[in-house]
Amino acid sequence: MSSHALLSASSASRRINCPPSARLAEKYEDRGSSYAAEGTDAHALCEYKLKAALGMEACPDPVVLVEQRVDFSRWVREGFGTADCIVIADGTLQVIDFKYGLGVLVAAEANPQMMCYALGTLDAFDGIYDIERVRMTIYQPRRDNLSTAEPPKAELLKWADEVLKPAADLAYAGEGKPACGEWCAFCKAKSACRARAEANLELARHEFRLPPLLTDEEVEDILAKVDGLVSWVSDIKEYALQQAIGGKQWHGFKLVEGRSNRRYVNDEAVAEAVLQAGFEPYERRLLGITAMQKMLGKARFDEALAGLVEKPQGKPTLVPESDKRPAMNNAKEDFNDNEGEHHV
């Protein structure tokens, strides 16, 4: 869950990696997004279901807290957040966070947001419940992702003192060295940030030579950075466009109308007019697979269309080694496999 603290738990990762981002982002208005609104609704539904299932109110042991405000200001000045669900039982503190997003797969391991929630809970409850173990779980249903980590309590507290607190102090003071990385994605300063621009323009040192002139190492280096470059370029374009719409003049640029296509004003009136003219306005088209399955129901769809639906192999995509999908055979490996078969 997000909160509106300057140093919120959800921005902990960015703040640790780039402490000045907290103050830089303050200058920009929070424009929200449809994804955030969708996430808020999904959280409200979860909260309702969980509380209803627990028959909330009386639940002495285990302790279950839903949408609980946690305060970790012992390490992060004015730091607080809202943990989706906290369970304390048998010496174990379990912090659960619900992620509704589809875009980024979120892991619980070394996740600063979860660690902040765990720290806030420890700070409030350790004295009362004698917590020995800390378990952090992220549930991201739309990515089939259930990720759990169990950081030793002593290590968590050490991290809080040695990493979280120093970074938070710098962030609060608006100091520290800006550092660019995947955490820039949700930083409000991301479009006009100089550090991000410099990091991305670094790629220009390859002088845009074509691959045959680059070494394998240089191509690997570019591959690792190119997604960040693409998103930076599109952030800059969007930022400049929004400013121009708002009245800013960029030297050498002007706003023009983009290309647009003709469209019907009223579909029914068009169909009626074409029928009147003696023509058939509609074409017959097969329903798409999703719509067809919805109409027939899964069982009847499977039975009636057995052997008539296939799933072609997906287009090869080059992704970092850390991607969860299994590696596919390349052309060379396929060739070697076939060679082997001939010799058997």
Report the interface residues with ligand SF4, using CB under 6 A. Answer: 14, 18, 20-21, 24, 178-180, 183-184, 187, 189-190, 193, 195-196
Q: Which is nearer to ligand SF4, 46 or 167 (CB)?
A: 167
* Smallest separation (angstroms) from ligand SF4 to the CB of 171: 10
The tokens for 21 are 């981002």
How many CA within 13 A on the CB side of residue 286? 4
DSSP string, 150-199: ---HHHHHHHIIIIIHHHHHHHHHT-S----SGGGGG-TTTTT-HHHHHH
The sign of the CA dihedral 59, 56, 94, 120 is: negative
Q: Which is nearer to ligand SF4, 23 or 206 (CB)?
A: 23
Phi, psi of 328 (to 5 degrees): -100, 160
* Smallest separation (angstroms) from ligand SF4 to the CB of 12: 12
Q: Which is nearer to ligand SF4, 87 or 195 (CB)?
A: 195
The tokens for 314 are 């997906």
Give the C-alpha distances (Å, rounded to integers) separating 208 from 135, 194, 235, 262.
Answer: 47, 21, 21, 40
- Chain-centre distance for alpha carbon 344: 48
* Smallest separation (angstroms) from ligand SF4 to the CB of 11: 9
* Smallest separation (angstroms) from ligand SF4 to the CB of 239: 12
* Smallest separation (angstroms) from ligand SF4 to the CB of 5: 17
Are 81 and 8 in contact by the 8 Å Cβ rule? The answer is yes
Q: Which is nearer to ligand SF4, 14 or 99 (CB)?
A: 14
Q: Which is nearer to ligand SF4, 198 or 272 (CB)?
A: 198
Q: Which is nearer to ligand SF4, 134 or 164 (CB)?
A: 164
How many helices (H) and strands (E) are present in the chain, helices listed first?
12, 5
* Smallest separation (angstroms) from ligand SF4 to the CB of 237: 16
Q: Which is nearer to ligand SF4, 115 or 180 (CB)?
A: 180
* Smallest separation (angstroms) from ligand SF4 to the CB of 326: 32
Are 140 and 99 in contact by the 8 Å Cβ rule? The answer is yes
Of 185, 186, 92, 83, which is closest to residue 138 (Cα–Cα)? 83
